Chains A and B, each alone.
Chain A
């Protein structure tokens, strides 16, 4: 702490040029990173006329101020936001949970062939989304419904009379998308948890084994509570990934009533006359959930990354 008890100005004088320089650079950094966000928010609350008349980053006041774009964007996006949440939250939690369990099995418990499994899982991270689009659609729209329909009509044929058909509703498609995202997220989550678990003391796990804890009890009582910071990391990372994805959603959701936020955001762009205020409003609203996730899990996230 500074020894001075005087005014802020005298404190500033004491800090020296280096410090002041550092703060100036940091300040410039903040401005640099926040300008696009500020521009988006400023644009969102403008009329078309004000948008064309003023610089993008200057907020409109009085005449040019309007919330109509924001309201229209919100109206369009709202059902999508709900569907996105219904899809992204379970998908994220499932990825993190399965990733954590898999990593536990691959580090703390000893068995043959671990390395081969780890290699396979790591390979899974590098499969590009585009490469699996065709097999994925064939699976979810032909193979899987065919299998389930056949199974149900065979085993429960006395009830269905062979006429049961796989429900191809939007909600079912949303579940399918959720499972796809969960599965696609497991490899990276496993890898993240694995490196975290490798740092956990072997002696502690051995102590727990001597204490009589079973493999699952060790996970529940020791590994899981200790990996909460890592859960924050994977939850934030996975949520952002899944929530922002458009490609899988475009391919797997074809019911116009069940669309995730990213799909609905597309509706707000383009057209004959590009309405930038509407697009910006949509972008800001669609980005809110990921921002909130960072704010809520931020502290844990920092802990997980630092350890």
Chain B
């Protein structure tokens, strides 16, 4: 078992029309032994390229990939001791499930036949596909094929699992089941795993840490809760969380943040932490937006409900300010609260819950108070 290190890796593609394309730009992450790291980001952010570089399917333009003490940049894929699960499963359609799973061992090791057979049987049993083992991939459902693809990786007993959106082709119910199962499996096998997904729910729920990429650059690599509560920048804050954080462009005037629709006075202690920058972005998570009975503080504003999306346990409420440009935003309230479209309500943005970002660079200047988060958690 070993730690996987990405040290300042960069990938540049050359295109005849567009010239240089920096798909991955100086990404550095240490992935601990046995850690489950999710790499997330929007399409084209370089997450798959990063994974393919680790696998050895793409060259690294610059930087180093190390597995333990070994630099694996120039090793062919087969010698890296990694196994990959593809989104399309990439099973060999003309081979039985048994041969699909055994193929890697046959090609890359000198193991005797009965040993291979045994390992394939074990893996098949672990995944609950032992009764399908003599069928061909075409006769299996998507979920079963997914298991075979996993099994093919497991029998290799690699140092690192690489997974490229392995659940993307499954239906929602099955995806949720497989998510849990994958997590258990990874814990049992205790193999370092790099998991690429564009689905932030998957990333939040499964991983030990999340690495968020945008435009080829690493935005943040931290635990899911850190990414959620203490985002490094506006991109991370907006990407993690569903519904996404509300952002308001504001200008700082003394101890007040002035937006088109509202003014947000700051307490002295908060104002002190903001530094000299006046061009700022105010961020509030929907679940931190409170609907209050009547105005009681400086942070209360009049708003009108546009749409209510009931979700059972909670409602997602789309609102807009009554004053100014009628900018819209989202609040999440308890499921039993009765709010209807057209209602005039009072919203509160509690000061301990606000995030402030640099308006130009998007860097986080102030994140929400973690004390209050912990209070809430311990109270529950």
Contact = CB atoms under 8 A, between A and B. Distances in A.
Interface of A: 201, 203-204, 206-214, 217, 221-222, 225-226
Nearest to B88: A203
Contact of A225 (B57, B82, B86, B94): B94
A209 B88 contact: no
- Which of A203, A209, A212, A225 is most buried by chain B, counting CB atoms within 10 A of its CB? A212
- Which of B88, B90, B104 is most buried by chain A, counting CB atoms within 10 A of its CB? B90
Nearest to A203: B90
A208 B103 contact: yes
Contacts of B84: 206-207, 210
Given A206-B57, A226-B94, A211 B86 contact: no
B77 A226 contact: no
Nearest to A213: B107
A204 B91 contact: yes
Nearest to A225: B94
Contact of B92 (A206, A214, A217, A222): A222
A201 B88 contact: yes
Interface in B35-57: 55-57
B78 A211 contact: yes
A209 B103 contact: no
B88 A212 contact: no
Main secondary structure of the interface of B (DSSP, over half): loop
A209 B57 contact: yes
Interface in B65-109: 76-78, 82-84, 86-88, 90-94, 103-104, 107-109
Interface in B155-212: 156
Contacts of A212: 77-78, 104, 107-109
A210 B83 contact: yes
A136 B103 CA distance: 46
Nearest to B108: A212
A225 B93 CA distance: 10
A226 B156 CA distance: 24
6 contacts: A201-B88, A204-B91, A208-B107, A209-B57, A209-B77, A213-B78
B82 A213 contact: no
Given A207-B90, A211-B103, A212-B104, 9 more contacts: A207-B91, A208-B107, A210-B55, A210-B78, A211-B107, A213-B78, A213-B107, A222-B94, A225-B94
Contact of A211 (B56, B87, B94, B108): B108
Contacts of B109: 212
A212 B83 CA distance: 10
A299 to B, nearest CB: 16
Given A210-B77, A213-B103, A226-B94, A203 B108 contact: no
A167 to B, nearest CB: 45
Interface in B261-286: none
Main secondary structure of the interface of A (DSSP, over half): helix
A56 to B, nearest CB: 49
A217 B107 CA distance: 8
B78 A209 contact: yes
Interface string B92-130: 111000000001100111000000000000000000000
Nearest to A218: B107
Contacts of A217: 107
A204 B108 contact: no
Nearest to B99: A221
A170 B225 CA distance: 84
Interface in B321-348: none
Contacts of A210: 55-57, 77-78, 82-84, 104
A217 B92 CA distance: 14
A226 B93 contact: yes
A204 B90 contact: yes
A208 B95 CA distance: 13
B258 to A, nearest CB: 52
Nearest to A210: B77
A203 B103 CA distance: 15
A201 B149 CA distance: 15
Contacts of B104: 210-212
A254 to B, nearest CB: 47
Contacts of A222: 92, 94
A221 B107 CA distance: 10
User: A-B pairs with the 5 shortest C-beta distances?
Assistant: A212-B108, A212-B78, A211-B104, A203-B90, A212-B107
Contacts of B77: 206, 209-210, 212
A211 B107 CA distance: 7
B52 to A, nearest CB: 8
A49 B90 CA distance: 68
A206 B94 contact: no
Contacts of B107: 208, 211-214, 217
A211 B83 CA distance: 8
A209 B156 CA distance: 13
- Which of A208, A210, A221 is most buried by chain B, counting CB atoms within 10 A of its CB? A210
A208 B152 CA distance: 11
A267 B156 CA distance: 66
Contacts of A221: 92, 103
